[in-house]
Amino acid sequence: MKYEPIPLVKYVDLERFMGAWYVIAHIPSYPEKNAFNAIERYELNDDGTIATTFTFNEGGFEGKFKTLTPVGFITDEESNAVWGMQFIWPIKADYRIAYVDDNYTETVIAREKRDYVWIMTRTPEIDGVNYNKLINFVESLGYDKSLIRKVPQKIN
């Protein structure tokens, strides 16, 4: 299926975007399909790449703790909203920042293929109004919202 390009955030302030993001909902890739307590952390490296650490418990809150460490590469330096995310050399997966709120507390990461998507926030929970707003936004991008999985987050 052919889609219009994912609309991007006009400009991403990388310093503000760095840090921990809780995955609230997603259309998951294979490794994260049963993720609980999923958190994505970004750190800007001196060479301009993004050190990424994705952690989660597999299958339940007490499930095996997993860590993935892809490297992000900014591929659109004008907006900083298009990244290549490299899990395995030389492949860089498409990673597009389609939404970030003014306070950098909510974001939506999308892909041109509309196969995976991530809704992330700075806290492990989100109120129902904002959650529905973000789900509807994802649907407006051309995603099937019935495929979206809410990620269980244990609130401490």
**Domain definitions of the chain by residue range:** 14-150
pTM for the model: 0.94
Tell me how far apart the alpha carbons of residues 44 and 18 are, in angstroms, rounded to a whole number: 7
Q: Is the Cβ–Cβ distance between 29 and 39 less than 8 Å?
A: no
Tell me how far apart the alpha carbons of residues 138 and 27 are, in angstroms, rounded to a whole number: 10
Burial per residue of 42-57, b for 16 or more beta-carbon CB atoms within 10 angstroms, e otherwise: beeeeeebbebebbbb
pLDDT at residue 156 above 70?
no
Kindly state the average pLDDT of the residues 44-51.
95
What homologous superfamily is domain 14-150 in, according to CATH?
Answer: Calycin beta-barrel core domain (2.40.128.20)
pLDDT the model gives residue 4: 87
Window from 54-58, 60-64, 83-87, 120-124 with minimum mean pLDDT: 83-87
Q: What is the DSSP letter of 73?
A: E
Q: Residue 33, SS3? A: coil
